[in-house]
Structure 1
Amino acid sequence: LALEPCSAGAVVTNPNTGEVLACVSYPGYDNNRLSNVMDRPYYVQLSMGMSRTFYNRATQEKTAPGSTYKMLSSVASLTEGVINGNSYISCSGVFDKITPSPKCWIYPSAHGSLNVVGALQHSCNDFFYEVGYRLGQDSNGNYDSDTGLEKLAKYAKMFGFDQTSGIEIPESQPQISDFDSVRSAIGQGTNNYTVSQINRYVTAVANRGTVYSLSLIDKTTDSNGKLIKDYTPEVVNQMDEISSSTWDLVHNGMESMVKSSSTFAGMDISMGGKTGTAQYSKIHADNVLFVGYAPADSPEISIAVRIANGYASTYAAEIGRDITKVYFNPESADELLQGYASSLGPAGAGD
């Protein structure tokens, strides 16, 4: 029907190997009706419908990553030395060092003084506006956006955001932001990525710095079972320059976010996660995202979810939560499928 929201994409990966466990584009279709004897009316319905069912939302649709990008900004600012784990930045609700002055999502309220763990937990925009500003300052304190963008781009490339994820189906080219380091630090600017690319990024966060070329395929064999090709994912970057203490801070922030969110209340599995809301149009609802990994102490899965025009990041987080539940307890799928869709509400908006 092409209503908003009508579509979503999700990718789940093993962060220890780079193997893709699930890649989903919604709305889906029954491919059995398109094999052998073609169901022509069904094909016409799918190909001509306004929901664009054949368009893979997981690998082809690009949007800004929103606040899910804040782990990258954290790694960049900690490694470049513009903040440390004991740095506190005050959020007043408005960042007035540039004009026009961007606001924190909590405005007209404010978060007060936060360190990087608290900033990730509460998704404070003001904190990361300041991070983007500091990355753009020279030794005399003069700010230049291009300088900040160069530093953010350096770390975006480390995380693989300058190339496709390696997944063996058509995938759109990523775009690293080249406009406004202050807004780019919160995942806006001109940052533009697919869910598969965002998944590879959070996979590297989960495993503390190993960037894989993701793979959907395990192997190909002939009709006798003889191996033709093994598709073991390759390591494309090992982020050895990032300290263990930096990863600790980032993980603490993501795990604090999950622990403080009612969405994840009662979870038997510990998780790290981050929500995101990506603005792109005044006449459409925001795109909403969730990235995460579980279990927190020894990740077995890394997750990226995006709902186009999904209103509030809580809805993407609910999907991430339920993916985790089903992965670690497959029997819970029956219970989840008997539930009801969430009613639209303001929870999680803006972060």
Structure 2
Amino acid sequence: MNEPDFQRINRRLTVFSAFIFFVLAVYLFQLFSMQIIRGAQFRKQSQTISQRSERIPAQRGEIFDRNANIPMVLNTNTFAVTVTPGEIARDELPTVMTRLANILHIPVSDVEKKLPASVRRSFQSVEIRSNIPYEVITALAENIDELPGVSWHSKPMRNYVETRSFSHILGYVGDITKEELKTFYNKGYTANSSIGKAGIEKYYDELLRGEDGSEYRTVDAKGRLIESGTAVIPPKMGNNLILTIDRKIQELVEDALGERIGAAVVLKPATGEVLALVSYPYFDPNLFLNDNGNELYAKLLHDTRNPLLNRAVNASYPPASTFKIVMSTAILAEKAFPPDKKVLCAGEVDYGERIFRCHIRRPGHGYLDLRNALAQSCDIYYWTVCRDNLGIDKMVEYIRSFGYGKSVEIDLPSQADGLVPNPVWKERRFHEKWLGGDTMNMAIGQGFMLASPMQVANMVAMVVNSGVIYKPHLLKEVRAPGTNELVFEKKPEILQQSDVPREVFAQVRSDMRYMITNGTAQVPLHNTVVQIAGKTGTAEVGRKDHWHSWMAAYGPYNAPPEDAVVVVVLVEAQNTWEWWAPYATNIIFQGIFANQTYEEAVEALGRKRFASVGRTRQE
């Protein structure tokens, strides 16, 4: 080998040695970095991988009325029983399940459903039963040696202090379903989560639910506990909600409606705040928290009176003669017919091979102008003027401007849109042409026209506010638990705005007041505490001696909108007819403005007046 070849080989060996040295240096540096510099980080990761977490459920936020003094919904601590199936020998599992079922006083099949074959080797705990009384926990503790894998922990449970008519407002909670979990999984919900099912509990679930905590335990590769020490991340309680509801007014309205199937609304027109929202019949949300909650729910679903239905916002009815408030506004705004010009009411009118009868006074009202037609609720006046002078297109335009036919956007999970029919709708729905008789029916809130009590309340609010409807809402404030710090405050939002001149609304308010002092409601709405303005309504339902009874009113008359309240009462035709809505309305106004309970209001107004409530249909 000559010298140049030797030098060339020597250079190659040098380069190769340098490369090997570089690789070793990088490797040693990486080892040093992993063990010394980033050792703590990797130890933490390895520990996390070998940890099993147990969920610590958070307490939901409490719910208060507008006075924020006593909670209407709070939490109580109960016990939940869990089983870790992997800790039970395979041949012992049937015996353990039987023993556990006997102590819990439930069928063995209920335990077996919770522990299907797919989870019986798992070391993740499975909740078997919640809301367990202390005596049962004591029995479990006494037999714990015969119940391997069985344990229990404290679990917060909802306690609805206010039930009855509050149930449709507050709603209730329940275990999350598979379908709900698919929807809300990305928002942190788990298979063991509780979730709002109705009312405020559902609509504001994310504000109320809080953040679950965790308890971490170190386990081996099979999930078995290998360390006694634990790390705990405490849960965070949900926010507290302050509602617009006034507990005292709610109870007053509930008593005034009584055990009559129907609904009632008390609304602040200047802000949209709902002071009371009553629907009867109601239910007890605490019943759903029991072990047989599903059975009770099914029973309520099959109740013909439909107690789960919130009739105030989620049911639709013909608004009847309360609707004449809209028609009066349209007639005045469009100058469709002179308000002082009179129309003859002879008791009936022949139109389209059919006789339309003014059912208030069979002999007829005689000659009436607009103000007296509203006061006496004369159908023939509105039939004639709306059909011949206003027309269906203008009628629909004004009806929709009052918010009918669409959602009121109240902060509840669901609500009825109602129905505003028109010629196109009828053609598509029934394949029939719109007739003059359809226009006449619509003019008095009958026929196909449908509305919820809340929509009728919004109609009155627009008149009071001279052309503005604010979104009705139940949430007033959100406050942090513990500190009571203000998190959010609800501000009024415009739902609907009209370009009708203010003087038109002023005239309608005047006519509504005249209806109380000189019209069909002067007896039931007589009140010396507050001046009331409004309109009665009696809706036909096709049954003899059965009608829906309506009253839509506000007071004080001529007060600024911020000082007024709107009251709407509906008594369904399912009840024995007694024309109760206007009487209930008067009791509500009396109680609110005289600061009285139901009993005190009835006493102040005179019990004899209510004892002599007539059964003759009026408007």
- TM-score per shorter chain, which class? 0.7 to 0.9
What is the CA–CA distance in structure 2 between the aligned matches of 1:284 and 1:39, rounded to whole Å? 41
Write the letter of the residue equivalent to 1:290. M
Report what 2:420 is aligned to.
176
Pick one of 129, 139, 164 that aligns with 2:383: 129
2:398 aligned residue: 155
Q: Deviations over 1:117-160 (max 9, x none)?
A: 11111111111101221245xxxxxxxxxxx2221110011111
Secondary structure at 1:257's aligned position in 2?
helix
Q: After superposition, what is the alpha-carbon deviation per residue over 1:300-319, rounded to whole angstroms, capped at 9, x for unaligned?
A: 10111111105657310011
Give the aligned partner of residue 327 of structure 1: 592
| CA 51–343 in structure 1, closer or farther in 2 if over 3 Å, else same | farther
Q: Which amino acid aligns with 1:306?
A: L
Q: Describe the SS at the equivalent of 2:570.
A: strand
Q: What is the CA distance between 1:342 and its match in structure 2?
A: 5.3
Q: Which residue of structure 1 aligns with residue 447 of structure 2?
A: 189
Q: 1:109 aligns with which of 335, 360, 363?
A: 363
User: For 2:317, what is the secondary structure of its paired residue?
Assistant: coil
- Cα pair 2:342 2:369 within 8 Å, conserved: yes
CA contact (8 A) 2:267 2:275 kept: yes
| SS in structure 2 at match of 1:263 | coil
Q: CA separation in 2, counterparts of 1:47 and 1:97? A: 44
Match of 1:307 in 2: 571
Classify 1:50/1:124 alpha carbon distance in 2 versus 1 (closer, same or farther; 3 Å).
Answer: same
Rounded to whole Å, the distance in 2 between the matches of 1:337 and 1:50 is: 31
2:477 aligns with one of 198, 211, 219: 219
Contact 1:129 1:183 in 2 (8 A): yes
Distance across 1 between alignment mates of 2:501 and 2:447: 25
Q: Show the counterpart of 1:78.
A: 332
**TM-score, normalised relative to structure 1:** 0.86
Bigger shift: residues 5-14 or 42-51: 42-51
What TM-score, normalized to structure 2?
Answer: 0.50
Q: 1:99 aligns with which of 350, 353, 360?
A: 353
Residues 229 and 284 of structure 1: CA distance in aligned 2, closer, same or farther (over 3 Å): farther
Q: Tell me if 1:236 matches 2:495.
A: yes
Q: 1:88 aligns with which of 326, 342, 363?
A: 342
Structure 1 residue 78 displacement after superposition: 1.5
Name the SS for the 2:349 alignment partner: coil
Residue 143 of structure 1 is matched in structure 2 by none
Query: How far is the alpha carbon of 1:258 from its aligned partner?
Result: 1.3
The answer (yes or no) to whether the contact 2:337–2:389 under 8 Å persists in 1 is no
Residue 495 of structure 2 aligns to which amino acid in structure 1?
V
For the residue of structure 1 that corresponds to 2:579, the secondary structure is helix
What secondary structure does 2:420 align onto? coil
Identity %: 26
What does 1:331-346 align with in structure 2 at a 5 Å threshold? Answer: 331-336=596-601, 345-346=614-615
Larger radius of gyration: 2
> Gaps (5+ residues) in structure 2?
1-258, 423-433
Give the alignment's Cα RMSD to 1 decimal. 2.5
Q: Deviation of residue 232 (structure 1)?
A: 2.1
**Does residue 297 of the first structure (1) align with residue 558 of the second (2)?**
yes
The equivalent of 1:141 in structure 2 is: none
* Matched-pair contact (CA < 8 Å) for 1:203–1:302: yes
Instruction: For 1:23-42, list aligned pairs within 5 A.
Output: 23-34=277-288, 40=293
1:215/1:232 contact within 8 Å kept: no
> Conserved in 2, the CA contact under 8 Å of 1:131 and 1:182?
no
Deviation (angstroms), 1:283: 5.6
SS at match of 1:335: helix
SS of alignment partner, residue 542 of structure 2:
coil
| Structure 1 stretch displaced more, 266-275 or 121-130 | 266-275
CA pair 186-33 structure 1, distance change in 2 beyond 3 A: same
Q: Which amino acid aligns with 1:207?
A: N
Structure 1 residues 188 and 311: alpha-carbon distance in aligned structure 2, compared to 1, 3 A threshold: farther
Deviates more, 1:306-315 or 1:148-157: 306-315
Conserved? CA contact 2:578–2:613, under 8 Å: no
Q: Which secondary structure state, in structure 2, belongs to the residue aligned with residue 174 of structure 1?
A: coil
Residue 243 (structure 1) shift = 4.3
Distance in 2 between residues matched to 1:165 and 1:233, nearest whole Å: 14
Tell me if structure 2 keeps the 8 A contact 1:275–1:314: no
Structure ranking higher on relative contact order (CA contacts 8 Å, 6+ apart): 1
Aligned to 1:262: 523
CA distance in 2, matches of 1:202, 1:7: 23
Q: CA deviation at 1:282?
A: 2.9
**Whole-Å Cα distance in 2 between the matches of residues 82 and 94 of structure 1?**
23
Matched, 1:164 2:407: yes
Once the two structures are superposed, residues 20-49 of structure 1 have per-residue CA deviations (whole angstroms, 9 ceiling, x without a partner) of: 1111101223444545x5674865654443
Q: Quick check: 1:251 aligned with 2:509?
A: yes
The SS at the match of 1:346 is: coil
> How far has the Cα of 1:164 moved from its partner?
1.2
* Contact 2:470–2:495 (Cα < 8 Å) also in 1: yes
Q: Which residue of 2 is the match for residue 54 of structure 1?
A: 308
- Answer whether contact 2:545 2:577 (CA < 8 A) is retained: no
Q: Which amino acid aligns with 2:599?
A: D
C-alpha separation in 2, matches of 1:254 and 1:248: 10
Q: State how far apart, in whole Å, the 1-side matches of 2:495 and 2:380 are.
A: 33
Q: Secondary structure at the match of 2:356?
A: coil
Q: Separation in 2 of the partners of 1:254 and 1:312?
A: 25
Contact kept in structure 1, 2:265 and 2:312, CA below 8 Å: yes
- Report the CA distance shift for 1:98/1:209 in structure 2 as closer, same or farther (over 3 A): farther
Query: What CA distance in whole angstroms lies between the structure 1 residues aligned with 2:512 and 2:579?
Result: 15
Say whether the 8 Å CA contact 1:290–1:305 is kept in structure 2: yes
Q: 1:46 to 1:273 in 2, by over 3 A?
A: same
In the alignment, the residues of structure 1 paired with residue 307 and residue 379 of structure 2 have an alpha-carbon distance, to the nearest angstrom, of 35
**1:238-296 per-position Cα deviation (integer Å, ceiling 9, x unaligned):** 3233340x223322221122123111234321000111011122367111100000001
Q: Distance in 1 between matches of 2:291 and 2:528?
A: 44
Q: Using the alignment, how far apart are the partners of 1:342 and 1:42 within structure 2?
A: 37
Q: Partners in 2 of 1:201 and 1:31 — Cα distance?
A: 32
Of 257-266 and 107-116, more deviation after overlay is shown by: 257-266
In the alignment, which residue of structure 2 is the partner of 1:273? 534
Q: Structure 1, residues 72-130: CA drift from partner, whole Å, max 9, x if none?
A: 00111121221133221111111234431311123421111111111111111111101
Q: Is the 8 A contact 1:276 1:313 kept in 2?
A: no
Which structure features the higher share of strand residues?
A: 2
Structure 1 unmatched runs, 5+: 137-147
